[in-house]
A and B are shown apart, each in its own frame.
Chain A
Amino acid sequence: MSEKRAASGTSANLLELRGLKKHFPIGSAIPLIQKRKTVKAVDGVDLTIARGETLAIVGESGSGKTTLGRVALGLQKPTAGEVWFDGVRLTDRSAEEQRKLRRKMQIVFQDPFGSLNPRLPIGDQIEEGLVAHAMGTPSERKDRMHSALELVGLPAEYAVRYPHEFSGGQRQRIGIARALALDPEFVVLDEPVSALDVSIQSQVLNLLADLRTKQGLTYMFISHNLDVVGYFADRVAVMYLGKVVESGPVDHVFTKPQHPYTIALLSAVPKIEAHDTADRLILEGEIPSPISPPSGCRFRTRCWLREQLGNPERCATEEPALAASPRDLDVAVACHFPLEDGAAATTKAGRTAAAASSKAKSKA
């Protein structure tokens, strides 16, 4: 965490999301008979990110991670809920004010190939943001652009080249330079390394970690690579079908996971040490349709714990709220039957035991 920013801000939380929802309408409605269907990509998310902190958002494809990042930045308008940035409620600012605030909130996109304009030299693309926010004189902007390139380890002379002249890793660094040239406080990293070769991934991650300390940045790190999250983030929020199911400090959540979904994700991480393949928890099927999510707990259709508990009624009728866990107040979990010894549940035997104890408890 950086001291530089922590001192300057007015509130401890740089970003706050309250009841954030983003629904995408699909198809067309039949008037009076049928309402227009919506994809509930993000469906009620509350999150805070403290200054200088890195919050990781994890979850499988289609869980709404990317949409959450975009809505948080105001790149997409939320259907409901509020976004607070540095004590300012973004959601009721005019488009022009939001545009001006973008300088402070940047994003690095997942796809290093599509996210750069193929017809503009990269220097122009980096400089463009500076022009839009009227930062400095033209020569100052040039200097700034050059130093942004150097910051990510690219020679300033490369500014006149076009995106197609660079490799994937270089382009992703250009994307980072572009975001950082504006001197932002908050950066959403939307799977910044998933499109890159493994050999380049760590290089880019180290760069991002260095910049975090040097510039005092606050990150929202969207990823489905749990190993990377463990290395990179301070806190983690696990998303499933548009909702946060578990959140808390990485070392708590990863060592003592309480939500059966978190456990499933953790047990699916490939490990180098030999271990029983039966230990690996395979979630069957696809994530359910976000158009009509399951009633009650959204995860119940694929929940291994519910099966072992003998399919309790409550899972289908009552939606579990995300609340601080009685066992660990730093962690919030949305499950009717949170696990006590989640770490053990990453093995098959541990799961059976954990389920048995949960069962006994729920009867008591």
Chain B
Amino acid sequence: MLKFALRRIGASLLILLGTTVFIYALLLAAPGGPEQKYANNPRFTPQQQQAYVKALGLDKPVPVQYCRWLGACRRDADGVDALIGPTGFPSIFPSFLSGVESGIVHGDFGYSYENGNAVIERISGALLPTLILAGLSAALWLSLAVILGVITALKNGGLFDNFFSVFTYVTAAFPTFILGFALISIFSVWLGITPVSGMTDGRLSPAFGSNEYWQYFAYSPSTALADLARHLILPVTTLVLISVAGDARYVRQSVMESMGMEHVRTARSKGLSSLRINRRHILRTGLIPFATNIGLAFPFLVSGALITETIFSWPGVGRLTLIAIGNLDYPLLMGILSIGAAAVAIGNLISDLLYAALDPRIRL
């Protein structure tokens, strides 16, 4: 098991490295770039432009640029020397060993073009709102999917199962941006019982968790929580509605598959009660594929929901991604993409390890 885990982690790191190359190449090929931001500014002289390009290191060959962005090369050296940090360890090693602090492997994602803030600060600021929204939605829809999937499988062909099939098609046919706006129109505009958007009710919209935020709620966690809950209702409903049907069908499918397995008939022939058969022989087998699938939901907790967050002005990573794209804010976008890629790799790793742990046939 340990060997399998180590091998799997090694493979994940390699895939991640490949992804960073891909991200870098993709954004290199995209139009725009730091120096073009000032291309139409008459006061930006060619000399200034040259100095700017040099300061950013954009005069270097592309592989060197990538190497520096990654953090495998340090910025204050050239050639092969750059690969070795001041302490003598390779530059790619953690900062406390190599003494190198630049590059994404050392947590340095550069600075946002938009406002000059560190990319890592902007992302970490958006991470908590995304974690709250995505985490709550995922917890809700995954558990709902299990409950609905198991019920529809055990009572397949019944009234509820048929009703749920219709529900699946309806929600599958609804794009997020229509469902989101429909909910806002009904519950916020028409009925007026939920806030239209945002994460807080503050008139000046104090940032979530900031000093002003707590001041606004008179330092009362319960008031703040109630306010947060009100703002969560619609975006969570949107996310749950669009995701639950597909996952419930998945659970239904795999539970039904395990219901038809021969060992279930064996269990019945032993004279076990149906409760015990369902629990021990059907659900145990039928829910493992889904349990391992849960690991795949992990990236969602980090990357957030692009469309839903944008519709509801939720200050999360999803919305930040859209802002970064709109502003051609490459450092920010590359940061978000890299962290997202890492989350996908971690999610897959969790899923694989979970599968190996849950299935006795896999001996590692």
A and B pair up: yes
**Chain A: residues with CB nearer than 8 A to chain B?**
73, 75, 99-103, 106-107, 109, 111, 114-121, 125, 128-129, 132-133, 162, 164, 175, 178-179, 182
B265 adjacent to A129 (CB under 8 Å): no
Q: How far is the CA of A101 from the CA of B270 in the complex (A)?
A: 10
> At the interface, yes or no: B13 with Cβ under 8 Å from chain A?
no
> At the interface, yes or no: B76 with Cβ under 8 Å from chain A?
no
The verdict on A119 contacting B271 (CB below 8 Å), with A132-B276, A178-B266 known, is: no
> At the interface, yes or no: B37 with Cβ under 8 Å from chain A?
no
A109 adjacent to B359 (CB under 8 Å): no
B266 adjacent to A99 (CB under 8 Å): no
With a cutoff of 8 Å between Cβ atoms, the chain B residues found around residue A99 in the complex are 271-273
A102 adjacent to B271 (CB under 8 Å): yes
What residue in chain B is nearest A113 (Cβ atoms)? B262
Interface on chain B toward A: helix, strand, loop, or mixed SS? helix
What residue in chain B is nearest A98 (Cβ atoms)? B271
Q: How far is the CA of A294 from the CA of B269 in the complex (A)?
A: 34
With a cutoff of 8 Å between Cβ atoms, the chain B residues found around residue A179 in the complex are 269
With a cutoff of 8 Å between Cβ atoms, the chain B residues found around residue A178 in the complex are 266, 270
Q: How far is the CA of A115 from the CA of B285 in the complex (A)?
A: 13
A132 adjacent to B263 (CB under 8 Å): no
Q: Could you give 5 example pairs across A and B, Cβ below 8 Å?
A: A75-B265, A117-B263, A118-B359, A119-B288, A129-B270
The verdict on A119 contacting B284 (CB below 8 Å), with A106-B269, A132-B276, A162-B361 known, is: yes
Q: How far is the CA of A103 from the CA of B272 in the complex (A)?
A: 10
The verdict on A111 contacting B262 (CB below 8 Å), with A117-B285, A118-B361, A119-B285 known, is: yes
The verdict on A162 contacting B360 (CB below 8 Å), with A109-B262, A109-B265 known, is: yes
> At the interface, yes or no: B267 with Cβ under 8 Å from chain A?
yes
What residue in chain A is nearest B281 (Cβ atoms)? A117
The distance from the CB of A162 to the nearest CB of chain B, in whole angstroms, is: 5
Q: How far is the CA of A76 from the CA of B342 in the complex (A)?
A: 51
Q: How far is the CA of A109 from the CA of B360 in the complex (A)?
A: 23
Contact for B268 among A75, A117, A162, A164, CB less than 8 A = A75
Interface size class of B (residues with CB under 8 A): 20 to 34
A115 adjacent to B263 (CB under 8 Å): yes
**Chain B: residues with CB nearer than 8 A to chain A?**
261-263, 265-273, 276, 280-281, 284-285, 288, 359-361
Q: How far is the CA of A111 from the CA of B272 in the complex (A)?
A: 20
A116 adjacent to B266 (CB under 8 Å): yes
The verdict on A133 contacting B263 (CB below 8 Å), with A117-B285, A119-B360, A162-B361 known, is: no
With a cutoff of 8 Å between Cβ atoms, the chain A residues found around residue B285 in the complex are 117-119
With a cutoff of 8 Å between Cβ atoms, the chain B residues found around residue A117 in the complex are 263, 266-267, 281, 285
Q: How far is the CA of A103 from the CA of B270 in the complex (A)?
A: 7
Q: How far is the CA of A114 from the CA of B359 in the complex (A)?
A: 16
The distance from the CB of A9 to the nearest CB of chain B, in whole angstroms, is: 20
Q: How far is the CA of A116 from the CA of B361 in the complex (A)?
A: 13
With a cutoff of 8 Å between Cβ atoms, the chain A residues found around residue B271 in the complex are 99-103, 129, 132-133, 182
What residue in chain A is nearest B359 (Cβ atoms)? A119
Q: How far is the CA of A182 from the CA of B273 in the complex (A)?
A: 15
Most buried by A among B266, B272, B280, B284: B266
A102 adjacent to B266 (CB under 8 Å): no
The distance from the CB of A58 to the nearest CB of chain B, in whole angstroms, is: 22
What residue in chain B is nearest A103 (Cβ atoms)? B271
With a cutoff of 8 Å between Cβ atoms, the chain B residues found around residue A103 in the complex are 271
The distance from the CB of A254 to the nearest CB of chain B, in whole angstroms, is: 30
Q: How far is the CA of A114 from the CA of B257 in the complex (A)?
A: 13
With a cutoff of 8 Å between Cβ atoms, the chain B residues found around residue A120 in the complex are 280
Q: How far is the CA of A37 from the CA of B359 in the complex (A)?
A: 41
With a cutoff of 8 Å between Cβ atoms, the chain A residues found around residue B267 in the complex are 117, 128
With a cutoff of 8 Å between Cβ atoms, the chain A residues found around residue B266 in the complex are 109, 115-117, 125, 175, 178
Q: How far is the CA of A182 from the CA of B270 in the complex (A)?
A: 8
With a cutoff of 8 Å between Cβ atoms, the chain A residues found around residue B273 in the complex are 99, 132
Contact for A73 among B261, B269, B361, CB less than 8 A = B269
B262 adjacent to A115 (CB under 8 Å): yes
Q: How far is the CA of A133 from the CA of B273 in the complex (A)?
A: 10
Known: A118-B359, A120-B280, A132-B273. 18 other contacts (CB 8 A): A73-B269, A75-B265, A75-B268, A99-B272, A100-B271, A102-B269, A102-B270, A102-B271, A103-B271, A106-B269, A107-B269, A115-B263, A117-B266, A117-B281, A118-B263, A119-B361, A162-B361, A164-B361
With a cutoff of 8 Å between Cβ atoms, the chain A residues found around residue B276 in the complex are 128, 132
B361 adjacent to A114 (CB under 8 Å): no
The distance from the CB of A104 to the nearest CB of chain B, in whole angstroms, is: 9
B272 adjacent to A128 (CB under 8 Å): yes
What residue in chain B is nearest A118 (Cβ atoms)? B361
With a cutoff of 8 Å between Cβ atoms, the chain A residues found around residue B281 in the complex are 117
